[in-house]
Structures are given as C-alpha cells and as structure tokens.
A and B are shown apart, each in its own frame.
Chain A
Amino acid sequence: MPIEANGKTFETDEEGYLANLNDWEPAIATAMAEAEDCTLTDEHWDIINFLREYYEEYQIAPAVRVLTKAVGKKLGKEKGNSKYLYELFPYGPGKQACKYAGLPKPTGCV
C-alpha cells in the first residue's frame, strides 16, 4: 500500500517497505510510525539514522544481532541490547526500524 507523507505519495512493497530507497525523507518514517501507533522519539531517530548510515556504507540492512552489537559500540553499552531495541521497536528492531528507515527487509530476516 502506498504511504502518504509530506503531501506526497510513495510506493511501498507488499510488506510496507519503501519501494525506492532514494525516496526516503524523515516524514516517511513519521507517517509509517503513526500508522502503527508509534510516536518517534530521539531514541528512535538514533536507530533509524544509524541504520541509514549502515546501509549507505555496507549496502545491506544489518541482522538484529549485528545491529545490537553496532549500536552498543556507537551509542553506548546500555543501548546495545535487544531489550532496549525491542522496547523502542516492539515489532522487531530489524523489521520495524529498517522499514521506517526506508531500507529493505534485513537479509536473513524471515
């Protein structure tokens, strides 16, 4: 289903992931979150921005385990655990955060 953000319409795939990575803008993340009754805080944005940087460098969406470790290194040990990430993204940090960040579904995520 296409997503409306900032007065524009963006194509998504059948699971709601943004069809074209380059279309992404922050308003898309906000709109996707609202559709799932989630209000984005600075802590959410830290993860979303981190994922976008990771994709930019490595051309893949990291597996949750990899994300957890990398977040711990970059944002501090108290955030590098799955409890913290699942509290922010209850549908799964890989799936939900990657979706808001406009990334494809993580490789190995079923």
Chain B
Amino acid sequence: MAKKFMYVNRKPPYGTIYALESLEVVLIGAAFDQDVSLAFIGDGVYQLTKGQDTKAIGQKNFSPVYSALGDYEVTKIYIEKESLEERGLTLDDLQHLVWEDEDDDWAEKDSIRLVSRAELADVLDDQDVLLSF
C-alpha cells in the first residue's frame, strides 16, 4: 500500500544544502513507488525560479533537475500562493513543470498547483509522512 509522502521545501536554493538534499531524497525515494508530493513554502519558492545563475557563487545550478521530476512520476507540486505574493513573484517567474501521461498518448500535463495557505494546510493534513527541508 503506497503511502502519501510530502516533501516540504522552505529554504532558498543556495546558501544551505537543504534544497539540493531534498531534491536528491525525492529522486531516490521516487524509486519506491510511493505517492509523492512536493510543497514550496516561504523562501522555498525561490528554488523554482527561472533563470538561476550560480557562476558567481561557484556552485552547480541544479535547477534544471526540477524539470526531470515528471519523469520520476512526481506530478504534484504545490506552491503556496501567499509565499509567492509576499516576495513579489507570480507563477510566471517559476519554471513551468509538466509531466507526460503515458496512458494519454504522452500528453503534457501541469505539475504545479497554486494553492492558498489554508488549502495547503488541508493537503499537509492528508499526508502519511511529512519531510521538512
């Protein structure tokens, strides 16, 4: 029986190892056929911003990896609306993440779900396992 796993991402992409570690755990965990969701809250929304350039900090820009999540059957990516707004961002500032539905002739479907703080609380409440990064 698959459990509902939710990875909650709260930190900016660089400066700490949390964002990258979370992503690696998600990719490894995806091999175990669980029902996986990701949430991006607070500064965590910066992890998905487009056009990241890490040259000046001498680190690898790992943001292209998020677009592979669909291949790993991670198709539920929740973005907290208030967190975006508080930072002057909109969905247009974030990568457009999609997954391809093999059972629907590989149709591209949106992975990103923009939810309010209250709606996200309900989603979190519904999970079996919460992993916070």
Contact = CB atoms under 8 A, between A and B. Distances in A.
Interface of A: 57-60, 62-63, 65-66, 69-70, 73, 107-108
B72 interface: yes
Interface residues of B, number: 17
24 contacts: A58-B65, A58-B67, A59-B62, A59-B64, A59-B65, A60-B65, A60-B68, A62-B68, A62-B71, A63-B27, A63-B30, A63-B31, A63-B72, A65-B31, A66-B68, A66-B71, A66-B72, A70-B71, A73-B100, A73-B106, A107-B27, A108-B27, A108-B28, A108-B30
Interface of B: 24, 27-28, 30-31, 60-62, 64-65, 67-68, 71-72, 100, 102, 106
A57 B62 CA distance: 11
Q: Which 4 A-B pairs have the closest CB atoms?
A: A108-B28, A58-B68, A59-B64, A66-B71
Most chain A beta-carbon neighbours within 10 Å: one of B61, B68, B106: B68
A60 B27 CA distance: 10
